[in-house]
Amino acid sequence: MCPHANSDSIPTSQTEMVAVDISSPKVNAVNGVNGANGHGGSHPSHQQRRNPYAPRASDFLNNVSNFKIIESTLREGEQFANAFFDTNTKIAIAKALDAFGVDYIELTSPAASEQSRRDCEAICKLGLKAKILTHIRCHMDDARIAVETGVDGVDVVIGTSSFLREFSHGKDMSYITKTAIEVIQFVKSRGIEVRFSTEDSFRSDLVDLLSIYQTVDKIGVNRVGIADTVGCANPRQVYELVRTLRGVVACDIEIHLHNDTGMAIANAYTALEAGATHIDTSVLGIGERVGITPLGGLVACLYAANPEYVKSKYNLPMLREIENLVAEAVEVNIPFMNPITGYCAFTHKAGIHAKAILNNPSTYEILRPEDFGLTRYVSIGHRLTGWNAVKSRVEQLGLTLTDEEIKDATAKIKELADVRTQSMDDVDSLLRVYHSGIQSGELAVGQKEALDRLLREHREEQHARQRSLSNGKGVAAAVAAAA
Ligand SMILES: CC(=O)SCCNC(=O)CCNC(=O)[C@H](O)C(C)(C)COP(=O)(O)OP(=O)(O)OC[C@H]1O[C@@H](n2cnc3c(N)ncnc32)[C@H](O)[C@@H]1OP(=O)(O)O
Ligand SMILES: O=C(O)CCC(=O)C(=O)O
Ligand SMILES: [Zn+2]
């Protein structure tokens, strides 16, 4: 079972880990989770004052708390090797993204296939709050088809690196500029948004880039786009290019970042710091090769910077549902280390962490699971556990033990966990046996042999009960068969 089941109950079916759910209001109250401890930052300005690394007033270009997401699961995401989205799946994904609150949804080119065109029209007719874009080559044939679909805007792209000019479309910069002007003016004449992007921007000549961006800005393009098509850029390069471009164009700046070297989230964050206004994402990052900036990872990163802004803009508890929807559609699992929704994103294990987390989750959490509709866990059935975590479980079970007794029981858990990880049931049984031994006077702190005997007796009793239960079932089955 995934530990993030959105429930207040203590999980019972985890086999690998004993986990204490510390999300219940009672425990929260006891540990002051909802108190004025700074966790999750209900007052970001206060947090920022205390954080020397927070954005400064002098970072006047910084858009970390003022950005738009262009969600491209239904365009870039369709380029993921496993992706095939039928019409209903596309509609379900578009509706879910809209309910989550993304600003734009980008769709595959209607020139790709007849069904792609029909799907684009169908999604435009849904009446979503998000603006619908489609993505085309810098070519009048594609533009003519795109403007007839009912989209709110068209994203136009063409390669500007020498690689793509030579081996993809074979056009030089003057042809590219001339065609870009023609396409942009045509789309604008239809009264819809238009964006112009250079593919493979980070391997393109800077003078070529700035020159074409300046030209399209002058003729009134809504946005220009930078694309790290091969995922070669690092944060410093992203910062420099966006910052330079910010000084050259007046229009909005979008950025599209591939994740070939694992930089896509960091690069997106840096782009916002440098003045980018729009970030392309896809759910789980799916796209060509290893894909682009993942929606969930970007949201985690931007939430960490300004939780109140991100909470007010997006329906965060929907993230898990959207990721499950897309993961199922493309037949992949959610990676265990996925930000927010990874299997153990909010599970704390080592005793030192557990103690501090129980006192104040801010000690080891930058994201509040509650804000994402998820649950925090402290895992205790292992040899790295500590008596503070065990004490929390003892209290959840409603048992009364002194600190000295809890430390004694913890030593036993560690001894057993040195052989194998203890399940939730194993730890609970041990604590109950320990407690009743103390209550009955059969056990005192440090009496290892007495504890071993009580545990042995408990196990034998359980086996006997199981045997009689299965015998009972056998008799019932025989009676039923005879009848
Ligand atoms: C980096 C990116 O992800 S960009 C977006 C990628 N998206 C897609 O490719 C959408 C899906 N693609 C398709 O369905 C098809 O490739 C189509 C319909 C776009 C074109 O199909 P075809 O006409 O059969 O051409 P094909 O795919 O073999 O080659 C691409 C053609 O577009 C040209 N081209 C490539 N990029 C561009 C561009 N940005 N602007 C204009 N023309 C371009 C190429 O020169 C080539 O033209 P050619 O037919 O004269 O050789
Ligand atoms: O249109 C864009 O900006 C990006 C196109 C694309 O997918 C890429 O270059 O990787
Ligand atoms: Zn891409």
The pLDDT tens digits of the residues spanning 238-276 come to 999 999 999 999 999 999 999 999 999 999 999 999 999
Using the mean position of ligand 3's atoms as its centre, give its distance from the Cα of residue 115 in Å: 21
Least confident piece of the model among 14-18, 248-252, 356-360, 462-466: 14-18
Q: Is the dihedral of CA 297, 263, 63, 363 positive or negative?
A: positive
3-state secondary structure 384-422: CCCHHHHHHHHHHCCCCCCHHHHHHHHHHHHHHHCCCCC
The minimum-distance atom of ligand 1 relative to the CA of 137 is: 40
155 CA closest ligand 2 atom index: 1
Higher per-residue confidence, 43 vs 251? 251
Beta-sheet strand order (sheet of 19-21): 19-21, 377-379, 347-348
Which helix H or strand E contains 19, and what residues bound it?
strand 19-21
Q: Quick one: pLDDT band at residue 40, thresholds 50, 70, 90?
A: very low
- Exposure on the CB side of residue 23, measured as CA atoms within 13 A: 24
Length of the chain, please?
483
pLDDT band at 60 (very low <50, low <70, confident <90, very high): confident
User: What spacing in Å lies between the alpha carbon of 329 and ligand 1's midpoint?
Assistant: 25
Mean pLDDT computed over 27-42: 32
Indicate whether 316 pLDDT > 60.
yes
Whether residue 58 is predicted with pLDDT greater than 90 in this model: the reply is: no
From 75, 80, 229, 286, the mutation candidate for ligand 2 (largest count of ligand atoms within 8 A of CB) is: 229
pLDDT of 398 over the 60 cut: yes
Hey, how many other C-beta atoms are within 10 angstroms of the C-beta on 35? 11
pLDDT band of 51, cuts 50, 70, 90: confident
Mean pLDDT over each residue of the chain, to the nearest integer: 90
Closest C-alpha residue for ligand 1 atom 19: 112
User: Pick the catalytic residue: 4, 256, 258, 353?
Assistant: 353
Asked if residue 137 has its Cβ within 6 Å of ligand 1, the reply is: yes
Residue-level pLDDT at 57? 59
- What is the distance between the alpha carbons of residues 132 and 149, in angstroms, rounded to a whole number? 10
Residue 46: the pLDDT is 47
Torsion of CA 77, 79, 81, 83, to 10 degrees: 50
Say yes or no to pLDDT of 111 above 90: yes
CA distance from start to end of the chain: 39
Angle formed at CA 63 by CA 62 and CA 68, multiple of 5 degrees? 165
The predicted pLDDT at position 27 comes to 32
Return the SS3 of 300: helix
* β pairing state of 223-228 and 131-137: unpaired
How confident is residue 470, by pLDDT bands cut at 50, 70 and 90? confident
User: Helix-strand-coil percent breakdown of the chain, rounded to 5?
Assistant: 50, 10, 40
Domain ranges, ordered by start, for the chain: 1-35+346-483, 44-329
User: What stretches of 172-283 adopt beta strand conformation (E)?
Assistant: 193-199, 223-228, 252-257, 278-281
Query: CA–CA separation, 254 vs 267, rounded Å?
Result: 12
User: Is the separation of the CB atoms in 155 and 113 below 8 Å?
Assistant: no
Flag whether pLDDT at 396 surpasses 60: yes
pLDDT value of residue 52: 77
User: Is the C-beta atom of 157 inside 6 A of ligand 1?
Assistant: yes
**Percentage above 90 pLDDT, the chain:** 84
Least confident among 55-59, 133-137, 204-208, 358-362: 55-59
Backbone angles phi, psi at 102, to 5 degrees: -65, 155
Minimum mean pLDDT range among 18-22, 93-97, 215-219, 277-281:
18-22
* Atom 49 of ligand 1, nearest CA residue: 169
Q: CB of 252 closer than 6 A to ligand 1?
A: no
Asked whether 310 lines ligand 1 (CB < 6 A), one says no
What pLDDT band is residue 41 in, cutting at 50, 70 and 90? very low
**C-alpha distances out from residue 333 to 94, 129, 164, 328, Å:** 20, 29, 34, 8
Query: What is the arithmetic mean of pLDDT over 75-87?
Result: 98
Residue-wise pLDDT for 189-216, tens only, equals 999 999 999 999 999 999 999 999 999 9
pLDDT value of position 54? 72
Average pLDDT over residues 106-112: 98
Identify whether 353 is a catalytic site residue: yes
Query: Ligand 2: which residues within 6 Å by Cβ?
Result: 76, 135, 155, 157, 197, 199, 225, 227, 229, 256, 258
The string of DSSP codes covering 406-475 is HHHHHHHHHHHHTTSPPPHHHHHHHHHHHHHHHHHTS--TT-HHHHHHHHHHHHHHHHHHHHHHHHHHHH
ipTM value: 0.98
**Which CATH number among 3.40.50.2000, 3.30.565.10, 1.10.3260.10, 3.20.20.70 corresponds to the domain 44-329?**
3.20.20.70
Q: In what helix (H) or strand (E) does residue 136 lie, and over which residues does it extend?
A: strand 131-137
For residue 35, the model assigns a pLDDT of 27
- Is 109 touching ligand 1 by the criterion CB < 6 Å? yes
Q: What is the DSSP track for 319-383? A: HHHHHHHHHHHTT-PPPTT-TTTSTTTTEE-SHHHHHHHHH-GGGT-SS-GGGGT---EEE-SST
Tokens of 241: 């290019």
Output the pLDDT for position 465: 94
| Cα separations in angstroms, 318 against 40, 100, 321, 323, 327 | 19, 6, 5, 9, 14
Alpha carbon distance 290, 332 (integer Å): 13
Q: Are 433 and 455 in contact (CB under 8 A)?
A: yes
Calculate how far, in angstroms, residue 168's C-alpha sits from the geometric centre of ligand 1: 8
Question: Which residues, by Cβ under 5 Å, contact ligand 3, an ion?
Answer: 76
With a 6 A CB cut-off, is 145 part of the ligand 1 pocket?
Answer: no
479 pLDDT higher than 80: no
Task: Tally Cβ neighbours within 10 Å of residue 6.
Answer: 13
